Amino acid sequence: MSAHGRSTARRPPAVSPDAPASAPPLRRQRFDIDEVMRRLRVAAPGWHAPVVTFIAMQTGDPFRVLISCLLSLRTKDETTGPAAHRLFALADTPQAMLKLSPREIERAIYPVGFYRTKARTILDICRVLLERYEGKVSNDLDELLTLKGVGRKTANLVLTQGFAKPAICVDTHVHRISNRWGYVRTKNPHATEMALRRKLPAQYWIDYNDTLVAFGQTICQPVSPWCSRCPVSELCPRRGVTRHR
């Protein structure tokens, strides 16, 4: 109230009846995983399949899937593929593998990463497969995790590629891309797997890894992804992307 008795409170400005209504606040668009997977599946035949997927398609053999997955750890596909081919030319069963010396396996798989350690691990796994499982690879996640050198990534990949069983294999590509899409918000691959288990529709579990690995190697690369070539670019929020092509 002013000294002259009049209110000093501000009145709202007059609004013309012809003035356009203010736009409502933008709502965050839901990430459409169904449309994304549909588009990626259409585009995928033009990309190179991950080497473990290729071996699974060629052989349908859980043992070769398991061993090739171990070889692929910390190793590029262009090195893993020839190494697996050389090794399986010498031995493609646990029984035959145990007839090889560690040095023979090392020579066959060189230059995969940690080739000496992997040679010993392969022999150890083959012994366990013969002692506990009659030379067969188990299709149970918990049983696979008891094998030396086998973590969740390898075990889940054996289930999906070796047995066509629903499982979620999370590697660096799956972790990075799922977060780049904003589909999950996680700090590490284990947390990503748990989040995807809760959220990802079951019909995508088996091929989610090989689809995203091929996509990540070809288009959605870690640094400067090829957004101009991406079949899902307009659906992607590009979380964490600072530079793209």
Per-domain residue ranges of the chain? 50-164, 168-245
**What architecture is the 50-164 domain classified under in CATH?**
Orthogonal Bundle (1.10)
CB atoms within 10 A of CB 190: 14
The predicted pLDDT at position 184 comes to 98
Q: Give, for all 245 residues of the chain, the pLDDT tens digit.
A: 544 454 444 554 454 445 444 444 434 578 999 999 999 999 999 999 999 999 999 999 999 999 999 999 999 999 999 999 999 999 999 999 999 999 999 999 999 999 999 999 999 999 999 999 999 999 999 999 999 999 999 999 999 999 999 999 999 999 999 999 999 999 999 999 999 999 999 999 999 999 999 999 999 999 999 999 999 999 999 999 999 99
Quote the CA–CA distance of 88 and 52 in Å, as a whole number. Answer: 13
In CATH terms, 168-245 corresponds, of 3.40.980.10, 2.60.120.200, 2.40.50.140, 1.10.1670.10, to: 1.10.1670.10
- Catalytic-role residue among 18, 171, 199, 207: 171
The predicted pLDDT at position 30 comes to 86
CB 216 within 8 A of CB 44: no
Q: Report which secondary-structure segment, H or E, holds 178.
A: helix 172-180
Q: What are phi and psi of 10, to 5 degrees?
A: -70, 140
Place of tokens 């409502």: 24
Of 161, 210, 171, 137, the C-alpha closest to 58 is 161
Quote the CA–CA distance of 184 and 178 in Å, as a whole number. Answer: 6
Quote the CA–CA distance of 57 and 41 in Å, as a whole number. Answer: 16
Q: Helix-strand-coil percent breakdown of the chain, rounded to 5?
A: 55, 0, 45
CB atoms within 10 A of CB 22: 6
Q: Do 168-245 and 50-164 have the same topology in CATH?
A: no
Helices 62-72, 77-90: axis angle to 10 degrees equals 130
Q: What predicted TM-score, i.e. pTM, was given to this entire model?
A: 0.85
Burial 114-123 (b: 16+ CB within 10 A, else e): ebeebbebbb
Quote the CA–CA distance of 112 and 7 in Å, as a whole number. Answer: 83
- Catalytic-role residue among 18, 136, 148, 153: 153
HSE-CB for 245 with a 13 A CA cutoff: 10
User: CA 68, 74, 80: angle at the middle one, nearest 5?
Assistant: 35
Tell me if residue 187 is catalytic: no
Tell me if residue 34 is catalytic: no
Spatial CB neighbours of 104, under 8 Å, sequence gap ≥ 6: 90
Place of tokens 């398609």: 57
